[in-house]
Amino acid sequence: MPALVSKSLRDYRRALIGWTVGIGAFFGLYLAFYPNVASNPGLYDEVALAKFPGAMRELMGGFEGGFTSGAGYLQTLVYQLFGPLLFITCAAVLGNRAIARPEESGTLELIVTLPIDRGRLVLERFAALALGLLAVAAVSFALVLVMVAAVGMDVPADRILAGHTGVFLLALLFGALTLTVGAATGRRGIAMAVAGAVAVAGYVIETMGESMDAVSWLRWISPFHYYLDGRPLYEGFPVPQYLVLAGATVALLLIAVPAFNRRDVGV
């Protein structure tokens, strides 16, 4: 493993441990409630959920399949909004620590004086981000598999893997976005603001666009479209959509490298 990648992973280890514990606790807590939901269909079936305001239903994915089915519960509470939100935040924090944060603290100046090409620095920082995020995703995936089996949700492992892969790719895209903005501006506040704005706007456009013609034509630019529209928990791996997410991540890195190369970071 390249020295810069391993050093970055060591620098990220506390954050990665914290995010792994936090995301795992979130998933475990919500999945533990499923038996109670399944045993009370009158409270949680689609008739009861239909009482929610239309806008709230759309933002929560329309409660597809209701809460009482295993796939519906997983989709609504884990893979629709809260799971992606946690992973995106984790990826954005790591993306900020790649370039913008060390530049603001002054430590990046020392790194770029070393005989390391700037493009290599950006790519190896991203590689550390991707490996760290993959570790968080792998641990949380294993936890979800165990919990799904323990509470009797009856969701195939390959569908859970498809959903988890989508969350990982979506978060990786936002990690690359944060890194790219940080590489172009050197400001972590700007990088986080851009990532947050894109995440919120993208999610609203994708969920509300399903029923609102005024914004439906914008769905193709939303990263969430290529994750949610494929319905991985119901239909398995949406390969074309996931390739779009991966391709967009690569495109952002191709922007980050020349943007960082052109900037003066104080040396």
The residue ranges of every structural domain in the chain are: 3-261
d(C-alpha 142, C-alpha 128), whole Å: 21
Q: How confident is the model at residue 111 (pLDDT cuts 50, 70, 90)?
A: confident
User: What are the tens digits of pLDDT across the range 16-68?
Assistant: 999 999 999 999 998 998 888 777 766 666 655 665 555 555 566 555 556 77
User: Does 15 have pLDDT greater than 80?
Assistant: yes
Angle 117-196-161 from CA coordinates, rounded to 5°:
80
Mean pLDDT of 175-189: 94
Q: How confident is the model at residue 267 (pLDDT cuts 50, 70, 90)?
A: very low
d(C-alpha 70, C-alpha 208), whole Å: 24
Averaged pLDDT of the chain: 87
Residue predicted with more confidence, 27 or 217:
27
For the full predicted model, state whether its pTM sits above 0.85: yes
Phi, psi of 224, rounded to the nearest 5 degrees: -65, -25
Mean pLDDT of 133-146: 96
CA distances (Å), origin 40, targets 29, 37, 45: 18, 5, 8
